[in-house]
Structure 1
Amino acid sequence: MSTTGSVPVSLAEIARIAGVGRAAVSNWRRRHDSFPTRIGGTDVSPQFSLAEVERWLRDNGKLDVIGGRELLWPRFEALGSRDESGLAVAEAARRMRSPQARTSPVELTPQAEELAVEAAKLGREEGARETFEFLLQRWLETHVRQLSTTPPPLASLMARIGFGVRAGDCEEGLTVLDPACGTGHLVAAAVRECADPGLVVLACERDPALAALASARLAFVSDDHDVRAEVVTADALRADPFAGARADVALCNPPFNERDWGYGELATDQRWTHGLPPRTEPELAWVQHLFAHLKPGGAAVVVLPPAVASRKAGRRIRGSLLRTGALRAVVALPPGSAQPHSVSLQLWILRAAPDGPGAVPPGQDALLIDATRFARTGARESGPHWEPLQAFVLSALEALDRPDADLPDGAVRVPLIELLDDEVDVTPGRHAPAGAEPSGRELAAAWKEAGSLLADLARRAERLAELEFEAGRPQTTASVGDLVKAGALSLRAGQQPADGAAGPGGSVPLLTVADLLADGTPGGLVAAASAPVIAEEGDVVVAGVVRAFRAWVHEGPPTALGSQLYALRVDPAKLDAHFLAGCLRAPANGRQAGTHASSASRVDIRRLQVLQLPLEEQAAYAEVFRSLRDFEARLVDADGRGRGLVSDVSDLLAAGGLGV
């Protein structure tokens, strides 16, 4: 593949191209006089010529197999314009699927056109869908501050809610609508979640680049399903391209807080059956737009900021939506579910009145669901615990049309007479009851369990205190890089997988650094075929970032590793995996191999040191390392249970529950 010498790349981009950490690239730059010279940037953030970097990596045998796509992306970024690079990615996707295509439906610069042709060629060689998803993900990451996307777990949840809540029999030719589709996360999720043949997808987006990318995404998703998709570039509120269409399911994550949404020119629009949305309430315009497009019994699920549930200006419209049975449920999501991540967003679930015998009548209450307790703690913008969150919300919504069904804690049916007051506040947290208070028997059992935990910790501490250490005993070590060269282990760097549907290999859990900073459990699923690195049982996993540095032996099902996570597979004839993990996770090891520039600094995995010991001696060390890990795990468990007990007893005391 030809490259352009004027395309600049940073040290981080070189690291991605070579499949190594940034520290390794800095080391190459110091040790090799032949390393390309800086062509721009600063001393702290230098930039180099992509063509010279590619040549140097090839000449020195350091170009990883991922280099093809990684070499391609800097050239898209060098186009400069967000729109031009996005349209070029979309055009590349079109040419991947239609090799004979020549004339582009959008006007591109010669550089963008040439790049789209080269990207299409690479996609046909390395996998069209995987190449497109890679380029799309990089484009989204580059322009994350300018874009608002719907995370795949939330998109999947919304699609499942929409198909589950709609009334009526299942039938062929269901229609799904998204009037502000962005890059198509929601409609793509709907296609994956709907098993009915002949699905029709109608999507609209006013940004031409986003619309083109959404169209490309849907084209790939439609390859695996019987789908007819139409994506139109238009402002759905001002110039609705689907004015006469009706949908079975409508999904939307509309733009927030836009004052210039067409208030003046749309004052007499027929969609405002529940009242003209105030100028300051554009979100309620989107709500009514969605509702106007529903078939009888159709359902709409829309993401909204929490203020829409309580702002004074919108109370008349909220009251009308409740009285007519249009607004059936509101779900409060944990912070981090979608942008803006600091806000607890809400899902509003609407349904049009069904027709015909056996139709579900409008409800006399609203279902309010507070799912904020599924937020993760300890990491900024790390996202919620998606699996239990999805299970909780879907379980609560199963009772939507069954008034006598029990609801899980955190969900409540509120009679309309209680909601239709002066405020018409539908915020779930103000109505959903807190969890049930523990009984005296439950408290006694919890205290007993806490005592057992502390006693077990004391026993473990006594055994560990018996360890003896010989001060000053000389020991030789070898770096991970040396062990790789010696064939004692293999090292693979994790990457952010492409966002795609599960293929023949099914789905596997995805572990990221953000998950480690939260509770250490994988926070999502990814198609096994799209995961570059999957840790198997017995592999040693290392987090290569200072703020989350740790190493452990992987147990359980195969798990995909995100960026800055590494999988080390040992030769059991040379290394004990638990011994290796114990050596690597020593804090002194991380400090020695880290850059220490900030908490986000990386750890150079190849520089981590491992004791050189015979295999039989490694086993003794491995046993002690395991004991330390078990002690640490029990300590964390005791801390969590103890804090929970203190919280429960404090609430009981504050409520006057002490028997005196």
Structure 2
Amino acid sequence: MTMQSHEGLLAPSDVADLAGVSRAAVSNWRKRMKDFPVPVGGSASKPLFAATDIESWLAAHPEKRKAHASANSDARAWESRLWGVANLFRGHVSIHALGELFVRTAIELIEGRPSYAPRDIGQRSIDELRYALDDIPREELARAIDGLLERTSRALGKAAGENGFVGSRTSTLLASLAKDLDGGTLYDPACGVGVALLQSLDMGARPDHIVGHEINATAVDIARGRAELRGVNIDLRVADVLDHDPDPELRADLIIAEPPFGLRVDRQTTMLDPRLRYGIPPRSSGDSFWLQHVVAHLAPSGAGYVLTSPGMLFRGGAEAEIRRNLLLSGCVRAVVALPGRMLPHTSIALALWVLSEPASTSREDVLLIDATSIETPEDEVAGWLTERGSLAEVPHARVSIDELAAGNADLSPARWVLTDAIDDAQVVEAFEQANTQLHQAVAALAATLGRVRPPKVAGEPPIMTVAKLIEAGAVEVSAVRPQRVEVAPEYEDRQVSTSDVRSGNLPPVADLPSADTSGLLTQPDDVLVTTVHGIRAVVDEAGGHFPIGHGLFRIRVVDRANLDPHYLADVLAGGWNLRFAAGTAIQRIPVRDIEIPVPPLEDQRAIHAAINNARKAKQLANQASEAADSLTTAILNAVRHGTSLTSNTTEGTTR
């Protein structure tokens, strides 16, 4: 498909974002709505639509736009229009340079300067970009540009972490810690594209002076442009903070920093660096350098907030010595262990350091907070650090500096914090509940074992392959749709994946509205089987599911007089069939080659009953094991908290 029009282009995923629906819904519109716009670019598999056509179509069909999207329809339209224009630059501008191009063009527009196309880009595309930017109200332009930068951050993945993710949870956390600053100097020594600095202003910070240092010149240009779009003055400078101090005289009232993790340090350069009063960082990681840089630039009574990798809390060697010296100098106010996924590109659980200038305190202890199980710490940390009452919501401890400085100076909150505040009643209740569950599981297990009867096996039964069963008309076999195929909206809540079959737990569909009769849904007693890396099979008792996934098959028993579906699901996974596995990286078993012993129907049902009881026994044994583990934990907690589990009460004795 060739390009027919130079205007903003939207992919199906962009249309879905604009309308607040799934991509499958957009696919469904294309198939069923005759007036849906035709593609003007891209390819058959990756079509692109004119943004103006899509906007007009959604305006003509307001019912297609979800309520939450309708509430912000203008903002979504501006953001999607910009992203649509960004599609014009595909193959001509790298995703790294796209944000800089858009910010620069926006600045040129508001300053009334012309915008000229860089090499390899048509002037028509730049003109379309200016048209799109000019349609956005001036007061919304900065937010629309941020929406585009957030999309480019997601597209870049890990690479975007070097300059800061627009819209990341870490920037929200740092901004929340700076939002109450009124006057003074706000400083970020690794500001990237200015994410945390500008977000702190959006959240209410009103400093007199804002300073940002960043090693990447492109990121500084974007940060400067974002600040100009907001009418904010920031003192930005391109500088390698680890190589030299760009402003030795700077003293800030509040410092926020999310520096890159694990940067190597030149020890020859750092030996005489006056910032490193607490120790020379190891060559392998500059994490402790950033901490010392922040402390060196804090004004009296100032506060520094630095995000590091969790290793900085406990690694030995030079870093342990630096931690100890920072502690003994009174520079560490608090440490907060954060949950994973605070950054979009990594699951690493970060640590927040709260630092102060050494001469400003006679601190005796450090607040350690374990927030690893808190869902939204970015909304809570500021309160924990300023309002003592709010600490009751999170595991925490105040530990003396002398105790922390001993040994390896380990500052991992989990090492010092009892994660559960347990009272005697809770300990006794947990013990009694686990004890009851253990006895119930053991009793049910004994009853189930009594029902396990050896099935009748009278000689070797006929052996049929699935292929022969198909040929005999006993079963019908069909491969289901692969995972990459788009699912129509009416089937979305009915999907069954390979992992569902492996677990044996199919999602309930009884309360769903009836779907069409296209034949894509399972019928009661259909057998779903996966043959990738072994065989797993499950009977769909109720039917009404939409199976989807690679290596997944649906088997329907036609001859119920000679073959029981539940027995079939049992023997499909027989160990003898594993010899048919083929493949190197992914082992698959051809479903037609699987061998099925076929005894009389009555014997099949007896065999399934025995196997089913054995499986129930396994489930009960697992329940008994879990209850025993809970009982052990309750007893140990009773010992730790000095709680009696054998107390006389008016209701009897707890034993």
TM-score (norm 1): 0.58
- Asked if the contact 1:161/1:394 (under 8 Å) is kept, the reply is no
- Asked if the contact 1:250/1:300 (under 8 Å) is kept, the reply is yes
1:310-389 aligned at under 5 Å gives the runs 310-313=314-317, 314-339=319-344, 341-354=346-359, 361-375=361-375, 384=376, 386-387=378-379
**Matched pairs, number:** 456
**Residue 28 of structure 1: CA displacement?**
4.8
Q: Does 1:432 align with 2:417?
A: yes
Structure with greater Cα Rg: 2
- Asked if the contact 1:331/1:346 (under 8 Å) is kept, the reply is yes
From 191, 209, 217, the counterpart of 1:181: 191
**Cα distance change on mapping 1:589 and 1:295 into 2, 3 Å:** farther
- Asked if the contact 1:369/1:432 (under 8 Å) is kept, the reply is yes
**Cα distance change on mapping 1:127 and 1:145 into 2, 3 Å:** same
Secondary structure at the counterpart of residue 142 of structure 2: helix
1:92-491 aligned at under 5 Å gives the runs 92-95=105-108, 98-102=110-114, 111=123, 113-114=126-127, 116-124=129-137, 127-148=140-161, 149=164, 154-161=170-177, 173-194=183-204, 196=206, 199-221=208-230, 223=231, 228-259=233-264, 261-313=265-317, 314-339=319-344, 341-354=346-359, 361-375=361-375, 384=376, 386-387=378-379, 391-396=383-388, 410-440=395-425
**Residue 105 of structure 1: CA displacement?**
14
**Residue 176 of structure 1: CA displacement?**
0.6
After superposition, the C-alpha distances for 1:564-600 in whole angstroms (9 at most, x for unaligned) are: xxxxxxxxxxxxxxxxxxx99727659989986579x
**Residue 321 of structure 1: CA displacement?**
0.7
Deviates more, 1:184-193 or 1:62-71: 62-71
Q: Does 1:82 align with 2:95?
A: yes
Secondary structure at the counterpart of residue 251 of structure 1: strand
**Residue 347 of structure 1: CA displacement?**
0.3
**Residue 120 of structure 1: CA displacement?**
2.8
Distance (Å, rounded) in 2 between the aligned partners of 1:281 and 1:30: 55
After superposition, the C-alpha distances for 1:374-415 in whole angstroms (9 at most, x for unaligned) are: 14xxxxxxxx3654565445435x89xxxxxx9776221222
After superposition, the C-alpha distances for 1:535-554 in whole angstroms (9 at most, x for unaligned) are: xxxxxxxx9994799xxxxx
- Asked if the contact 2:185/2:208 (under 8 Å) is kept, the reply is yes
Distance (Å, rounded) in 1 between the aligned partners of 2:178 and 2:21: 43
Distance (Å, rounded) in 1 between the aligned partners of 2:198 and 2:490: 33
**Cα distance change on mapping 1:204 and 1:444 into 2, 3 Å:** same
**Cα distance change on mapping 1:546 and 1:55 into 2, 3 Å:** closer
**Cα distance change on mapping 1:651 and 1:203 into 2, 3 Å:** same
After superposition, the C-alpha distances for 1:278-337 in whole angstroms (9 at most, x for unaligned) are: 111211111112122111221110111111111113111111111111122111112222
- Asked if the contact 1:18/1:57 (under 8 Å) is kept, the reply is no
**Residue 88 of structure 1: CA displacement?**
1.4
The answer for unaligned runs of 5 or more in structure 2 is 66-72, 437-488, 496-508, 522-543, 551-625, 640-644, 647-654
Distance (Å, rounded) in 2 between the aligned partners of 1:595 and 1:39: 33
Secondary structure at the counterpart of residue 343 of structure 2: coil
Distance (Å, rounded) in 2 between the aligned partners of 1:11 and 1:596: 24
- Asked if the contact 2:338/2:352 (under 8 Å) is kept, the reply is yes
From 631, 635, 648, the counterpart of 1:653: 635
Q: Does 1:13 align with 2:14?
A: yes
1:186 maps to a residue whose letter is A
Distance (Å, rounded) in 2 between the aligned partners of 1:106 and 1:39: 23
Distance (Å, rounded) in 1 between the aligned partners of 2:30 and 2:146: 32
**Residue 107 of structure 1: CA displacement?**
9.7
Distance (Å, rounded) in 2 between the aligned partners of 1:248 and 1:544: 56
Distance (Å, rounded) in 2 between the aligned partners of 1:101 and 1:584: 63
Deviates more, 1:426-435 or 1:106-115: 106-115
- Asked if the contact 1:95/1:117 (under 8 Å) is kept, the reply is no
**Residue 82 of structure 1: CA displacement?**
2.1
Secondary structure at the counterpart of residue 147 of structure 1: helix
Secondary structure at the counterpart of residue 284 of structure 1: helix
1:370 maps to a residue whose letter is D
1:423 maps to a residue whose letter is N
Secondary structure at the counterpart of residue 419 of structure 1: helix
- Asked if the contact 2:256/2:304 (under 8 Å) is kept, the reply is yes
Secondary structure at the counterpart of residue 373 of structure 1: coil
Secondary structure at the counterpart of residue 287 of structure 1: helix
TM-score (norm 2): 0.58
**Residue 161 of structure 1: CA displacement?**
3.8
Deviates more, 1:305-314 or 1:135-144: 135-144
**Cα distance change on mapping 1:280 and 1:229 into 2, 3 Å:** same
Secondary structure at the counterpart of residue 145 of structure 1: helix
**Cα distance change on mapping 1:544 and 1:160 into 2, 3 Å:** farther
Secondary structure at the counterpart of residue 297 of structure 1: strand
1:603-642 aligned at under 5 Å gives the runs none
Distance (Å, rounded) in 2 between the aligned partners of 1:425 and 1:280: 19
Distance (Å, rounded) in 2 between the aligned partners of 1:29 and 1:361: 66
- Asked if the contact 1:88/1:115 (under 8 Å) is kept, the reply is no
**Residue 21 of structure 1: CA displacement?**
4.1
1:498-509 aligned at under 5 Å gives the runs none
Deviates more, 1:28-37 or 1:283-292: 28-37
- Asked if the contact 2:251/2:298 (under 8 Å) is kept, the reply is yes
Distance (Å, rounded) in 2 between the aligned partners of 1:161 and 1:140: 23
2:201 maps to a residue whose letter is V
After superposition, the C-alpha distances for 1:430-484 in whole angstroms (9 at most, x for unaligned) are: 0112322232378559989xx9xxxxxxxxxxxxxxxxxxxxxxxxxxxxxxxxx
The answer for unaligned runs of 5 or more in structure 1 is 165-169, 355-359, 376-383, 400-405, 452-542, 550-582, 600-643
Secondary structure at the counterpart of residue 93 of structure 2: coil
Distance (Å, rounded) in 1 between the aligned partners of 2:155 and 2:37: 27
**Residue 250 of structure 1: CA displacement?**
0.6
Deviates more, 1:417-426 or 1:20-29: 20-29
After superposition, the C-alpha distances for 1:66-104 in whole angstroms (9 at most, x for unaligned) are: 5554243133242431232111121133245x3423479
1:133 maps to a residue whose letter is D
1:312 maps to a residue whose letter is G
